[in-house]
Amino acid sequence: MKHRYKKLCLNLGLGVSLTMGSATQWAAAHDHAHHGGIQTEASSKIKPDFDIFHTKITTEGNVAIFHIAVSGKAGKTRPAKSGKLAGSSVFSYVWPTTLDPSVVGFEPKSGILAFAVTSHPDFDDTPLFDENGDGNPNNDGNVWHSHWVVLQPDQACGKDALKVVDIPEGSKPRLPKTWPGLPILIDSPGWSPTFKGKTLEVRVPFDDIASIQSAGFDGVTAALRVNASVHAPLLCVSNVFKVASGNLSLPGKFNQ
C-alpha cells in the first residue's frame, strides 16, 4: 500500500523533499506546541495557508482528532465562485489513510480512504446540514466542511492523477448513511472543522476507536476540479499544493 502511494505521488511530479531530522528541528523551533505526528519544513514556494508544517491524528476516548498546521492562516483562501458546476474548483485539507473504506460505510477495498475539509462556492454537498445557519441547507458549499472520500487513480484526470471514485449508473454500492446523493464515493458526516490561527482540527467519533489506531496517515493540501462535462470522472485532483511526508508514504501513526 505504501509503495503504491509513493509511486502515485512521485509521478505527479511533486518534487517535495523532506529530511526528517531537519524537519523536526525546524518545526520544534517554529512552534513548540506542535509536537509528534509528521513534521515538515516550510516552503516559500507554497501559499502560506496551504503550506503544511505539522500533521497528526490523536485520540480522546472514542474521538479521533485530525490536526493540520500551516505557515499562514489556515482556511484563509477559498476558491473563487465561477457561477457554474462544470469546471468549478474545490480547495481541500486532506488526511489520506490506510484505513479500509468499510470502516466508515463504503464497500471494502474500494480505494484510498481519506478524510477531507473542503470549500467550494459553486455547489453544496452537505444536504443534511445548514453550515451557515441561514435556514437553507443547500447554499453552504463555501463554508469549510468535512467529508470522507474514496480515491483512486484515473488517467482521465491527468497522468497518474487521483479522482474521487465514481459510482457507475445502475450500480448500488454500499454507502454511508450520510452519503449526500452524488454519484461518487463521498460521505458528508457533518463533523465541523475548527480553525484557529495556523491550525485546523476536526473531532471525529468512531464506534470502535481501537480498530483504527494502527492505521497510517499523511497530510495533503490540494485543489480538485469538477469535470467540464460533469460526468465520470466527476471530481479530479487537479493540483497538489503540498504533501506532509513529501512522498505520500503515509508515515504518520495515531497518538505518535
Tell me the C-alpha to C-alpha distance, in Å, between residue 136 and each of 124, 131, 179.
Answer: 11, 9, 19
Q: What is the pLDDT of residue 35?
A: 80
Helix, coil or strand: residue 204? strand
> Residue 69's closest CA among 194, 153, 187, 155?
194
Q: What does residue 147 show for φ and ψ, rounded to 5 degrees?
A: -145, 155
pLDDT tens for the chain, 256 residues: list them: 444 433 343 333 333 333 333 444 444 444 445 688 999 999 999 999 999 999 999 999 999 999 999 999 999 999 999 999 999 999 999 999 999 999 999 999 999 999 999 999 999 999 999 898 999 999 999 999 999 999 999 999 998 899 999 999 999 999 999 999 999 999 999 999 999 999 999 999 999 999 999 999 999 999 999 999 888 999 999 999 999 999 999 999 999 9
Rounded to whole angstroms, the Cα distance separating 243 from 40 reads 9
CA 34, chain centre distance (Å): 20
Using CA atoms in the order 93, 108, 161, 249, what is the torsion angle rounded to 10 degrees?
70
Q: Domain-by-domain residue ranges, the chain?
A: 2-129+142-253
Q: What is the pLDDT of residue 244?
A: 98
Q: What is the pLDDT of residue 27?
A: 40
Rounded to whole angstroms, the Cα distance separating 140 from 130 reads 7
